[in-house]
Amino acid sequence: MRHPALDSLLILQDRDSKRLGLEAQLKAVPGDVAAVEKKIATEKAAIDAARTEVKELETKKKLIETEIGLAEQKLAKYKTQQSLVRKNDEFQALGHEIETTEQAIGVLEEQELGLMYNIDEAKKRFAEAEGVLKQNIAGHEARIRSHKERETSLTAELAEAKAALAAAREPVGEPALRVYDRIAARQQPVLVALRGNKCSGCHLKVSSEVESDARKGEKLATCDQCGRMVWFDY
């Protein structure tokens, strides 16, 4: 014999598990949206990093150009001075200065060339990063939209599921409902079938007393291992 509350309890459990499923799906939505937003942020950060790199390299290049300009002024001054001196040792000293300055200018010009190469590379990276975002942004935005649409439809479904759940609680009698709620607060599913003499919730053997209670269906039997309600599956 089946316990009189069993059928309504099974319906209640079915509605309850539907509600729980929807709640779990709904709970996952913000994380799904955040994951897409994180991808967008990562792609934007790559653009920013490349832009900053270009700027920094260009600043360095300007500094070197200034240094080259100053060194060239110095060189011109030495050359003018050299053309005016009469004494040999002064001429030679200035010649030495000229040589040193020319060498320094050579080093700076090499550095400038290196920087120009690096600027080109950084500009390529910038364009590449911009391309990646440009290519992906429509997809990212579509994904966020679809997550949000899913959220809206899940919210509507959940409202319906909650109404169905409330309706399913009504035919269940008060004591059975109390037992159900107490178990539901701890674990799902609340009601499980006894197969052989095993609880299909925890897969352990129930005592012969529980088995006989479930079989008779006179009272609501609970598994003596996991505490779920067990019903005898004929």
Return residues touching Zn ion (CB under 5 A).
199, 201-202, 223, 225-226
User: Among residues 189 and 201, whose Cβ is nearest to Zn ion?
Assistant: 201
Distance of closest approach, residue 213 Cβ to Zn ion, in angstroms = 14
* Torsion, CA 216, CA 220, CA 223, CA 228, rounded to 10: 140
Distance in angstroms (rounded) separating the CA atoms of residues 175 and 222: 14
Cβ distance to Zn ion smaller for residue 25 or 225: 225
Least Å from the CB of residue 220 to Zn ion: 14
CB of 18 to Zn ion, least distance (A): 23
> Whole-number minimum distance, CB 234 to Zn ion, in Å?
19
174-184 and 6-84 are packed helices; what angle lies between their axes, rounded to 10 degrees?
30
- The alpha carbon of residue 218 and the mean position of all alpha carbons in its chain are separated, in whole angstroms, by 52
- Phi, psi (5° rounding) for residue 172? -80, 130
Whose Cβ is closer to Zn ion: residue 115's or residue 223's? Answer: 223
Which residue lies nearer to Zn ion by CB, 57 or 190? 190
- Nearest distance, CB of residue 185 and Zn ion, angstroms: 16
